[in-house]
């Protein structure tokens, strides 16, 4: 006995949940199949950055189009997602770094975008007075921000229930068969739908492989640390040209520190673990920008599993092999900001409507050997 739906979402992370909500609100009967529990991996381990700053050129239009959706998210979902239009800042700590940021700003302008802005030391310290005095300037996007990943997941989870999505945890997909409708096989039952969305995150390539589509994805474990609450000292999300760092302060005062350091991946147990030496390096980067953080206590570190594609760009694409299957995975450590827009793009593909941002660079069949590929953090 196979249970039917209008649309099946594989994966209960941000991409899958947001897609399920949109689809159900369109009047579709939606079933979401999650292998473990909602938001278990990259989604809840995310730093929550809503960033168009320093994006790969192909992702800039998506990141810009996603911003208004974040501003609307709380009203749209009927629950706080902790979104703050804080701005994002990438500081230069030396002349060479400042020169790189100026080149970057010029290149972005040449593409016709105006959101990235170079600021000098005075303007930078006016924005963030607590910054260490050696900082020389920065690349700034004033209307970027951040949100709270846990609140976002729970808001989406509630919105999904309210929209009538059937959310099933502990349903690992092990088979996918073409046809009309498509057949999705789990370890405990089969389901059918004319539309299936692969939002399986770090395991999205395994789902794609079920229908013979090969996407090079490396699982990685992105490290994060958080301090106990400290007095407010920073407004924006801070990064630097001199080392990997993403730093922000929550409304409650916790300082969340990440930046792309990769921990241990235990693929068999589907868990990640921080590497102490890299946690240490990450924290040293934070204390270089804000020396007073030396006296803050670290209360928790973690590493969530995430899939990095070979070119560091996601797959947002109809399947080239199976009609009715749509891929949205491999967000390579910068998917959080895009998630509300990705749900729209997926539904536009499903309905054969024109996409609200260009998705040609994210085709599932783009991975040719020896192409020029670079990862943007």
Partner 1 sequence: MKAVDVLIVGAGPAGLSAAAVTGAAGLSTLVIDEQAAPGGQIWRAAEAVGADPVRHAALGSSYRGAMAAIAIARQHARFATESEVVDVSPDRDVLWFDKTARTLHQTRARAILVATGAMERPVPFPGWTLPGVTGVGALQIALKQGGMVPDGPVVLAGQGPLLLLVAQQLAAFGVPIAATLDVASAFPSRTALGALPGAIGADPGLVAKGAALAARRFLSGSAYRDIRDLEAVGAGRIEAVRFRAAGETVTIPTTRLAVHDGVIPNTQLTRLLGLAHRWIDGQAAFAPQVDADGLSSRENVWVAGDGAGIGGAERAAAQGAATARAICRALGTIPAAGDAPRGTGARTFVDRLYAPLPVSHFAADDTLLCRCESVTFGDVRRVIADGATGPNRVKTATRCGMGPCQGRICGANLTRLVAEETGRAPRDVGALRIRPPLKPLLLADYATLAATDSA
- Note whether 287 binds partner 1 by CB under 8 A: yes
Task: By CB under 8 A, name the one of 106, 107, 132, 299 that touches partner 1.
Answer: 299
Task: By CB under 8 A, name the one of 110, 295, 352, 370 that touches partner 1.
Answer: 295
Q: How far is the CB of 251 from partner 1 (least distance, A)?
A: 13
Burial label, 120 (beta-carbon count in 10 A; 0-12, 13-18, 19+): exposed
Q: How far is CA 51 from CA 48, 86, 221, 238, in A?
A: 9, 10, 20, 11
Per DSSP, the residues of 66-126 read HHHHHHHHHHHHTS----B---EEEEESSHHHHHHHHHHHHHHHHTT----EEEEHHHHHH
What's the CA angle centered on 84, arms 291 and 34, to 5 degrees? 105
- Note whether 78 binds partner 1 by CB under 8 A: no
Q: Would you say 144 or 148 has its CB closer to partner 1? A: 148
- Note whether 264 binds partner 1 by CB under 8 A: yes
Q: Are strands 137-141 and 88-92 parallel, antiparallel or unpaired?
A: antiparallel
Task: By CB under 8 A, name the one of 110, 297, 352, 369 that touches partner 1.
Answer: 297
Q: Would you say 78 or 120 has its CB closer to partner 1? A: 78
Q: Quick one: which of 52, 85, 53 has its CA closest to 71?
A: 85
Task: By CB under 8 A, name the one of 294, 351, 353, 377 that touches partner 1.
Answer: 294
What's the CA angle centered on 336, arms 330 and 341, to 5 degrees? 90
Site mask for partner 1 (CB under 8 A), range 266-285, x = bound = x--x-x-xx-xx-xxx-xx-
Backbone angles phi, psi at 246, to 5 degrees: -140, 120
- Note whether 10 binds partner 1 by CB under 8 A: no
Q: Would you say 280 or 360 has its CB closer to partner 1? A: 280
Q: Is the separation of the CB atoms in 89 and 236 below 8 Å?
A: yes
Q: Are strands 325-329 and 315-318 parallel, antiparallel or unpaired?
A: antiparallel
Q: How far is the CB of 169 from partner 1 (least distance, A)?
A: 7
Site mask for partner 1 (CB under 8 A), range 326-365, x = bound = ----------------------------------------
- Note whether 166 binds partner 1 by CB under 8 A: no
Bridge partners, 325 (sequence order): 196
Q: Is the separation of the CB atoms in 168 and 36 below 8 Å?
A: no
Task: By CB under 8 A, name the one of 286, 326, 337, 349 that touches partner 1.
Answer: 286
- Note whether 293 binds partner 1 by CB under 8 A: yes
Q: How far is the CB of 294 from partner 1 (least distance, A)?
A: 4
Q: Would you say 46 or 309 has its CB closer to partner 1? A: 46
Task: By CB under 8 A, name the one of 2, 161, 321, 353 that touches partner 1.
Answer: 161
Candidates 114-122, 265-273, 316-324, 350-358; binding stretch for partner 1 (CB under 8 A)? 265-273
Gap between the Cα atoms of 34 and 173, Å rounded: 8
- Copy the structure tokens of residue 13: 């992370």
Candidates 38-46, 125-133, 200-208, 347-355; binding stretch for partner 1 (CB under 8 A)? 38-46
Residues contacting 301, CB < 8 A, separation 6+? 223, 224, 225, 226, 274, 279
- Note whether 158 binds partner 1 by CB under 8 A: yes
Gap between the Cα atoms of 228 and 222, Å rounded: 20
Gap between the Cα atoms of 120 and 65, Å rounded: 28
Q: Would you say 153 or 208 has its CB closer to partner 1? A: 153
Q: How many residues form the binding site for partner 1 (CB under 8 A)?
A: 39
Q: Is the separation of the CB atoms in 307 and 332 below 8 Å?
A: yes
Q: Quick one: which of 84, 139, 145, 146 has its CA closest to 113?
A: 139
- Copy the structure tokens of residue 136: 């020389």
Question: DSSP code of 295?
Answer: G
Residues contacting 370, CB < 8 A, separation 6+? none
Q: Would you say 37 or 214 has its CB closer to partner 1? A: 37
Site mask for partner 1 (CB under 8 A), range 213-232, x = bound = ------------x-xx----
Q: Would you say 201 or 314 has its CB closer to partner 1? A: 201
What are the residues binding partner 1 (CB under 8 A)? 37-39, 44, 150, 153-154, 157-158, 161, 169, 225, 227-228, 264, 266, 269, 271, 273-274, 276-277, 279-281, 283-284, 286-287, 293-302
């Amino acid at each position: 006995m196979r249970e039917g739906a209008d649309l099946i979402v594989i994966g209960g992370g941000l991409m899958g949940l947001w897609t399920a909500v949109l689809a159900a609100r369109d009047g579709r009967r939606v079933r979401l199949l999650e292998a473990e529990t909602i938001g278990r991996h990259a989604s809840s381990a995310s730093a929550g950055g809503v960033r168009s700053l320093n994006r790969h050129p192909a992702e800039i239009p998506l990141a810009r189009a996603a911003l208004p959706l974040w501003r609307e998210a709380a009203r749209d979902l009927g629950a706080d997602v902790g979104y703050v239009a804080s701005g994002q800042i990438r500081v230069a700590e030396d002349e060479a770094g400042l020169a790189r940021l100026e080149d970057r700003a010029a290149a972005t302008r040449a593409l016709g975008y105006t959101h990235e802005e170079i600021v000098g030391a005075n303007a930078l310290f006016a924005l963030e007075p607590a910054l260490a005095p050696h900082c020389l300037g920065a690349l700034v996007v004033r209307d970027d921000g951040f949100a709270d990943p846990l609140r976002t997941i729970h808001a989406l989870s509630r919105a999904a229930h309210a929209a009538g999505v059937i959310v099933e945890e502990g349903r690992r997909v092990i088979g996918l068969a073409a046809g009309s409708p498509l057949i999705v096989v789990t370890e405990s039952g089969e389901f059918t739908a004319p539309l299936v969305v692969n939002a399986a995150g770090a395991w999205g390539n395994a789902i794609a492989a079920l229908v013979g589509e090969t996407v090079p994805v490396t699982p990685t474990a992105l490290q994060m640390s958080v301090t106990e609450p400290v007095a407010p000292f920073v407004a924006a999300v801070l990064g630097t040209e001199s080392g990997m760092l993403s730093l922000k302060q929550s409304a409650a005062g916790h300082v969340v520190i990440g930046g792309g350091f990769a921990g241990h991946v235990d693929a068999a147990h589907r868990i990640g673990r921080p590497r102490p030496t890299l946690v240490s390096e990450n924290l040293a980067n934070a204390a270089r920008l804000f020396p007073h953080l030396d006296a803050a206590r670290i209360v928790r570190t973690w590493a969530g599993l995430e899939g990095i594609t070979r070119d560091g760009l996601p797959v947002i694409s109809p399947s080239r092999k199976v009609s009715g299957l749509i891929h949205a995975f491999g967000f390579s450590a910068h998917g959080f900001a895009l998630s509300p827009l990705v749900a729209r793009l997926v539904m536009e593909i499903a309905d054969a409507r024109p996409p609200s941002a260009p998705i040609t660079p994210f085709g599932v069949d783009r991975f040719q050997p020896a192409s020029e590929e670079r990862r943007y953090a």
